[in-house]
Amino acid sequence: MATGKAFAELGPARIRELPPVFCWLVLLPLLGGCASPGEPVTRRPPTPTAIDDLTAAQSGNNVLLSFAVPHETVEQKPLEHPPAVEIYRSFSPAAVPPASPPPPVLLETIPSDLVDHYASEGRAVVPDPLTPQDLEVHAGEFAVYMIRTTISAKRPSADSNLASVRVNPAPEPIADLQAAVIHSVVHLTWTPPEKTPIGAAPPVKVYHIYRVEIPPAAPAQLPPSSKAAATPQAPGSLPRGGESPGLRLEQIAETAAPEYDDSQVALGKTYRYAVRSIVEYPGEQVESSDSNQVAITVRNLVPPSAPQGLVVIVVPAKEEARAYLDLSWAINPEADVGGYNVYRSEQQGVVGTRLNSELLPTPTFSDMSALPGRRYFYSVTAVDRSGKESSPSVAVSGELPAQSQP
């Protein structure tokens, strides 16, 4: 550096008088110093790979965008962290935009540190809430989406594929779902929705019933009741993903009426329910978002109703078989009936003694121990699967003829 200083002090006139070789000998050390390995080198920011699997689907009055989060650069090097996500949207009257689609508008930017909030197993699901104005102006049109990702604003990814979905106003979520246990069946009721965000709702075509079984440690124990206890939850408090990976609301049935009986439940188990209504527009159906949710533990404290239609007939002796009394009655209407008991007495108004040692699975019984010439009074009870027994049926009498009678 001292040589360079002295060289600079010569001035332009003296430098021109020096031999060329001398000038190069002086400049080479200076030029070599500029390329020393200790100097910083400017790095180009990475460019994420473009998304190529973007999909869009309407759920309630939201459009759910789904895509795999890029994890590599265009040079196929791993990204150190998720890129920021820029979501663009336009509306088009056609599902596939023309050669020059409407220019997309930046709808939302998800910062890098929030991308994982939307992602599960490498795939993100981002909702786009449709405003009443969106639905008012663009009902029946297609919402067209495109996504770019960025690590640096100067080097965004290439555009994703275009994803489009026809949008129409969905019914407002059901807000009064109620649940009760009646004879070990969960009975759900609700009021049909009447409005959308922009006006009257079309008639409901069908309702979808969703359910998840809650492990014993997950919910607080519900207080016992003859109709069980139902705890309403705020809409969306248990999204489709559930409270944990093991809790996921799944569709179990559909019904055209605003009520449903779920008989595929077990005593002592706790279930959570939600209902969605489906309306029909030309060429498509739209499903509402989740209703309020109800959690219910299946505890049945109501015994079955008393059996009806008891009949007692005499079956006469035949060859070596002696005569006997045959009983039959109507099947109980409750779904949780586990069997029946038969009682016999020789005194009217007294239930008497149970004749069967085990529950009868069918509504029939043959009294082979009846003696000729005696009048018996029979009654029947129903027993549910939790062991609760109904009151006795109306007593019916029967008598085998005496041995001297034909």
pLDDT tens digits for 377-398? 999 999 988 888 999 999 999 9
Enter the DSSP assignment of 16.
Answer: H
Per-residue pLDDT tens for 298-350?
Answer: 987 788 999 999 999 999 998 888 999 999 999 999 888 999 999 999 999 99
Assess whether 282 and 325 both reside in one domain: no
Extract the runs of DSSP E, i.e. beta strands, from 38-122.
55-59, 62-68, 84-92, 105-110, 119-120
Instruction: Report if residue 46 sits inside a domain.
Output: no
What is the pLDDT, as a whole number, of residue 8? 52
When pLDDT is cut at 50, 70 and 90, the band that residue 238 belongs to is very low
The helix (run of H) or strand (run of E) holding residue 379 is: strand 375-384
Assess whether 324 and 235 both reside in one domain: no
Enter the DSSP assignment of 6.
Answer: H
State the CB neighbour count (10 A cutoff) for residue 46. 19
Tell me how far CA of residue 75 lies from CA of 41, 78, 123, 256, 406, in angstroms. Answer: 19, 9, 21, 55, 104
Alpha-carbon distance of 267 to 155, in angstroms, equals 60
- Domain residues for 16? 2-34
- 169 contacts 138 by C-beta, under 8 angstroms: no
Alpha-carbon distance of 265 to 271, in angstroms, equals 8
Mean predicted confidence (pLDDT) in 136-161: 92
Extract the runs of DSSP E, i.e. beta strands, from 151-292.
163-166, 178-182, 185-189, 195-196, 199-200, 204-214, 230-233, 250-255, 259-262, 270-281, 284-287
What is the pLDDT, as a whole number, of residue 16? 55
Instruction: Report if residue 405 sits inside a domain.
Output: no
Q: Is the pLDDT of residue 258 over 90?
A: yes
Q: How many domains does the chain have?
A: 4
Instruction: Report if residue 172 sits inside a domain.
Output: no
Instruction: Report if residue 138 sits inside a domain.
Output: yes
Task: Report percent pLDDT > 90 for the chain.
Answer: 65
Q: Is the pLDDT of residue 5 over 80?
A: no
- Of 143, 166, 189, the one marking the end of a domain is 166
Instruction: Report if residue 112 sits inside a domain.
Output: yes
Q: Is the pLDDT of residue 240 over 80?
A: no
What b-and-e string marks burial along 138-153, b requiring 16 or more CB atoms within 10 Å of the CB? bbebbbbbbbbbbbee
Instruction: Report if residue 304 sits inside a domain.
Output: no
Assess whether 182 and 86 both reside in one domain: no
What is the pLDDT, as a whole number, of residue 221? 41
Pick the residue with more confidence: 300 or 143?
Answer: 143
Q: How many residues does the chain have?
A: 406
Angle between helices 2-9 and 20-34 (to 10 degrees): 140
Assess whether 183 and 247 both reside in one domain: yes
Assess whether 134 and 213 both reside in one domain: no
Mean predicted confidence (pLDDT) in 355-378: 96
| CATH number of domain containing 373 | 2.60.40.10
Alpha-carbon distance of 95 to 165, in angstroms, equals 7
- Residue type (1 letter), 81: H
- Per the DSSP assignment, residues forming a β-bridge with 375 are 399
When pLDDT is cut at 50, 70 and 90, the band that residue 75 belongs to is very high
What is the pLDDT, as a whole number, of residue 37? 55
Pick the residue with more confidence: 7 or 339?
Answer: 339
Instruction: Report if residue 279 sits inside a domain.
Output: yes
- 351 contacts 376 by C-beta, under 8 angstroms: no
Q: Tokens for 297, please give them.
A: 């533990």
- 278 contacts 271 by C-beta, under 8 angstroms: no
Enter the DSSP assignment of 116.
Answer: H
What is the pLDDT, as a whole number, of residue 173? 96
Pick the residue with more confidence: 73 or 224?
Answer: 73
Q: Is the pLDDT of residue 250 over 70?
A: yes
Assess whether 160 and 184 both reside in one domain: no
Burial class (CB in 10 A: 0-12, 13-18, 19+), 212: buried
- Of 139, 166, 193, the one marking the end of a domain is 166
Q: Is the pLDDT of residue 31 over 80?
A: no
The mean predicted confidence, pLDDT, of the chain is: 84
What is the pLDDT, as a whole number, of residue 176? 97
- Of 111, 143, 166, the one marking the end of a domain is 166
State the CB neighbour count (10 A cutoff) for residue 70. 24
Q: Is the pLDDT of residue 372 over 80?
A: yes
When pLDDT is cut at 50, 70 and 90, the band that residue 245 belongs to is very low
When pLDDT is cut at 50, 70 and 90, the band that residue 231 belongs to is very low
